[in-house]
Structure 1
Amino acid sequence: MNNKLGLKILAILLAIAMIAGGTVAASPANGSEIPHPANMDSIEEIYPLDDYAKEKLFENGFVVLKDHEHGNISDCYWGLFDESNVSVFITTDALLHIFHVVHDDMLKEIEKEHLYNSTEFLVQDMQKLSMDEYQNTSPDLAHVKEAARRNVVFVTVACKLLDGSYPVPGYAEENVTEYVRKILEHSATEFYPGDDYTQYKPRGHYEGDPALERYFRCMKWLSRRILRIEDEMHPEDSHIEIVQAAMISEMLRDSPEDMRLWGKVYNVTTLLVGTADSITPVMVKNATDNVFGANFTASMLENTSNIEKLRVEFRKPEYPESEIIPVPLYSPGDIPPKYIQFMGERYVPDSYVFQQDTYPHIPYLTRLPKGLEVMATMLGSERADQLLESEKETYTGLESQMNKLESEFGNYTTEDWKKNVYCNWFYTLDPLLVEFNESYPLFMQNTAWQDEKLNTALSSWTQLRHDYILYAKQTYVPCPVAQGYGYVEPIPEFYSRLSSLCRKIETELSDEGVLPEKHRDGFSSLAGKLDTFGTYARKITHNETLTTDDGEYVYGGEQDDIHGFGLWLLGFFSGWNDGIMEEEPTLVADVCTNSFTKRVLHEGVGRFNPVIIIYREPDGKALAGIGYVMSYYEFEEENYTRISDSEWKKRVETDALPPRPFWTDSFLYPAEERVQGDLNRDGVVTAADAVIALQIAARGRHNDLADMNGDGRVTALDALRILHAAVGGVEL
Structure 2
Amino acid sequence: MFFRALLSLFAAWAGISVCLASDGYPEPPKNWQEAAKRAGLTDDQLSRLEKDKFLVTGVEERQSFRAYLGGNVPFFVTSDAVLNAYHVLFEESLRQQEEVQAGGLRSFCDTVWKDLGSIESRYSGDDALIAQSKRRAMFTIGVALRLFGGDIDGASPELKKSIDDEVALILKAEGRHKPALLGKPEPSFVAFEYALFRPVGFYADKGTLSRYFRAVRWLQLVPFRADFPEEHLAFHMLGTIRQHYFGGVLTTRTILFTALGGVRDHLDLDETRLVSYGREKARVDDSFFKSGLDVVRADAGQMALSPSPFSDRVREVAPGQDDLEFRALSTYRLPEDIAMYTAAAVQSPSQSSISPGLAFNAWLGVPKAEELYRQQCGPDAWAQLIAGRPTLRRDYGDADAQQEPWWKRPFQVWSSELEYRGTLRWAAEVDERAPAFMRSLAWQTKAMQTIAASWAQARHAWMLQSKPQVHVLKGTASPQGFIEPLPEFFMRLSQCAGHMGRLASDAEAVGDPVAAVVEEMRETVKSERARVAEKAGEQEISEATWVLSKQLGTYRVPMDHDKLQNPSREDVLRLADELEKLAARVQQEARPGSELWGILQEERIRTDVLWHELEVLCLRLSAMADKQLSGRTFTQDENSFISHTGRRLSRIMLYRGQALFHPHDDAPRIAFISSQPKRAMMQHVGIGRPRHLYVLYPWEGKDVLCRGIVMPYHEVEAATTLTDEAWRERFSKGGERPPIPAWLHEMVPAEAALPEAKN
Q: Output the TM-score relative to the length of structure 1.
A: 0.75
Q: Return the offset for 1:166.
A: 5.1
Equivalent residue letter for 2:433: S
Q: What is the CA–CA distance in structure 1 between the aligned matches of 2:431 and 2:479, rounded to whole Å?
A: 28
Q: Does the CA-based 8 Å contact 2:683-2:716 persist in structure 1?
A: yes
Matched residue, 1:308: 290
1:595 to 674, 677, 683: 677
**Distance of aligned partners of 1:137 and 1:314 in 2 relative to their CA distance in 1, 3 Å threshold:** closer
Residue type of the alignment partner of 1:523: W
Contact kept in structure 2, 1:277 and 1:322, CA below 8 Å: yes
Q: Name the amino acid aligned to 1:665.
A: H
Q: State whether structure 2 residue 690 is matched by structure 1 residue 608.
A: yes
Question: C-alpha deviations, 1:31-69, integer Å up to 9, x for none?
Answer: xxxxx993432333223222x32222122111111x212
Determine the C-alpha separation between the residues in 2 that align with 1:406 and 1:672: 38
Cα deviation code 1:341-385 (max 9, x no counterpart): 1111111123223321233x4453986432245434431111111
The one of 312, 318, 322 aligned to 2:302: 318
Secondary structure class of the residue paired with 2:666: coil
Q: Which moved more, 1:373-382 or 1:339-348?
A: 373-382
Query: 1:281 and 2:361 equivalent?
Result: no
Which deviates the most, 572-581 or 620-629? 572-581
Please give the alpha-carbon distance, in whole angstroms, between the structure 2 residues aligned to 1:226 and 1:598. Answer: 23
1:567 aligns with 2:567: no
Aligned match of 1:163: 149
Looking at structure 1, the residues matched to 658 and 244 of structure 2 have their Cα atoms a distance apart, in angstroms, of 43
**What CA deviation, in whole Å up to 9, does each residue of 1:553-596 have, x standing for no partner?**
xxxx3123202222334555443799998663201111022233
Deviation of the 1:138 alpha carbon:
6.2
Give the SS at the match of 2:684. strand
Answering whether residue 613 of structure 2 is matched by residue 626 of structure 1, we say no
Contact 1:64 1:609 in 2 (8 A): yes
Report deviation, 1:417.
9.0
Q: Cα offset for 1:165?
A: 5.1
Q: CA deviation at 1:93?
A: 0.6
Residues 403-451 of structure 1: CA deviation (Å, up to 9, x unaligned): 32347586689677964433333222110123x2642122312111111
Tell me which residue corresponds to 2:214.
217
**Structure 2 residue 372 is matched with structure 1 residue 387:** yes
Q: Identify the residue that residue 138 of structure 2 maps to in structure 1.
A: 152
Q: In the alignment, which of 22, 32, 45 is matched to residue 53 of structure 1?
A: 45
Please state if 1:42 is matched with 2:35.
Answer: yes
The offset of 1:251, in angstroms, is 1.5
Residue number in structure 2 paired with 1:353: 339
Change (3 A) 1:622 1:610: same
Over 3 Å counting, the alpha-carbon distance change for 1:540 and 1:413 in structure 2 is closer
What are structure 2's unaligned runs of at least 5 residues? 1-28, 178-184, 393-404, 468-477, 512-603, 754-759
Matched, 1:538 2:526: no
Q: Alignment partner for residue 239 of structure 2, among 244, 249, 269?
A: 249
Structure 1: how far apart are the matches of 2:408 and 2:225? Answer: 34
Counterpart check, 1:472 vs 2:466:
yes
Counterpart position of 1:8: none
Does structure 1 conserve the Cα–Cα contact (< 8 Å) formed by 2:497 and 2:612?
yes
Q: Does residue 511 in structure 1 map to residue 592 in structure 2? A: no
The AA in structure 1 aligned to 2:506 is D
Matches of 1:95 and 1:297, distance apart in 2: 58
**2:68 is the counterpart of 1:70:** no
| Partners of 1:464 and 1:373 in 2: CA distance | 16
Q: Deviations over 1:503-533 (max 9, x none)?
A: 1112123224357762111111111111111
Match of 2:230 in 1: 240
1:644 corresponding residue in structure 2: 723
What residue number does 2:534 align with? none
Kindly provide the amino acid, as one letter, of the partner of residue 593 in structure 1: S
Deviation string 1:581-618 (CA, Å, 9 cap, x unpaired) is 8663201111022233232211021111111111122x
**Most deviating of 439-448 and 563-572:** 563-572
Task: Tell me the amino acid that sits aligned with residue 644 of structure 1.
Answer: T
Distance 1:224 1:213, change over 3 A: same
Matched AA of 1:63? L
Task: Name the % identity.
Answer: 20
| Aligned residues between the structures | 592
d(CA) in 2 for partners of 1:37, 1:390: 46
Q: 1:102 aligns with which of 89, 107, 110?
A: 89
- Is it true that 1:92 corresponds to 2:73 in the alignment? no
- Residues 196-221 of structure 1, C-alpha deviation per residue, up to 9 Å, x if partnerless? 11100011111131111111101111
**Alpha-carbon distance, 1:263 to partner:** 4.9
- Amino acid across the alignment from 1:328: V
Residues 695-721 of structure 1 show CA distances to partners (whole Å, capped at 9, x for unaligned) of: xxxxxxxxxxxxxxxxxxxxxxxxxxx
How far apart are the structure 2 equivalents of 1:602 and 1:418?
32
Say whether 1:272 aligns with 2:351: no
Q: Does 1:431 align with 2:426?
A: yes
1:656 is matched with which residue?
736
Q: Secondary structure at the match of 1:364?
A: coil
CA distance, structure 1, for counterparts of residue 292 and residue 334 of structure 2: 28
Q: How far apart, CA to CA, are the structure 1 residues paired with 2:123 and 2:452? A: 53
Question: What displacement does 1:322 show?
Answer: 2.3
Q: Which residue of 1 aligns with 2:226?
A: 229
Relative to 1, partners in 2 of residues 1:310 and 1:366: Cα closer, same or farther, differing over 3 Å? farther
CA 1:339–1:298 in 2, change beyond 3 Å: closer, same or farther?
A: farther
2:176 corresponds to: 189
Instruction: Write the deviation string for residues 62-115 of structure 1: whole angstroms up to 9, x where unpaired.
Output: 1111x21221223222133xx2xx210101111111111111122222212x11
Cα 1:130–1:414 shift into 2, 3 Å:
farther
Matched, 1:79 2:61: no
- Residue in structure 2 matched with residue 375 of structure 1 by the alignment: 360
SS in 2 for 1:625: strand
For each residue in 1:640-677, what CA deviation from the matched residue of structure 2 results, as whole angstroms up to 9, or x when unmatched? x111111111111134123211222322345799xxxx
The RMSD of aligned alpha carbons is 3.1
Deviation at 1:392, TM superposition (A): 1.9
Once residues 218 and 290 of structure 2 are traced to their aligned partners in structure 1, the CA distance between those partners, rounded to angstroms, is 28
The answer (yes or no) to whether the contact 1:90–1:627 under 8 Å persists in 2 is: yes
Tell me the SS of whatever aligns to 2:704.
strand
Rounded to whole Å, the distance in 1 between the matches of 2:319 and 2:651 is 55
1:578/1:62 CA distance change after superposition, 3 Å: closer
SS of 1:616's partner is strand
Distance of 1:222 and 1:266 partners within structure 2 = 17
Gap runs ≥5 in structure 1: 1-35, 231-237, 474-482, 550-556, 674-732
Query: Which residue identity lines up with residue 172 of structure 2 in the other structure?
Result: E
TM-score, length basis structure 2: 0.72
Q: Alpha carbons of 1:333 and 1:101: their partners in 2 closer, same or farther (altered >3 Å)?
A: closer
Partner of 2:163: 176
Aligned to 2:571: none
- Contact 2:148–2:211, Cα closer than 8 Å, also in 1: yes
Matched, 1:665 2:651: no
Q: Could you say which residue in structure 1 is the equivalent of 2:325?
A: 339
Find the aligned partners of 2:344 and 2:280 in 1 and give their Cα distance: 42
Letter in 2 for 1:280: D
Write the letter of the residue equivalent to 1:485. Q
Alpha-carbon spacing, 1:672–1:334, altered in 2? closer, same or farther (3 Å): farther
Which of 658, 668, 673 lines up with 1:586 in the alignment?
Answer: 668
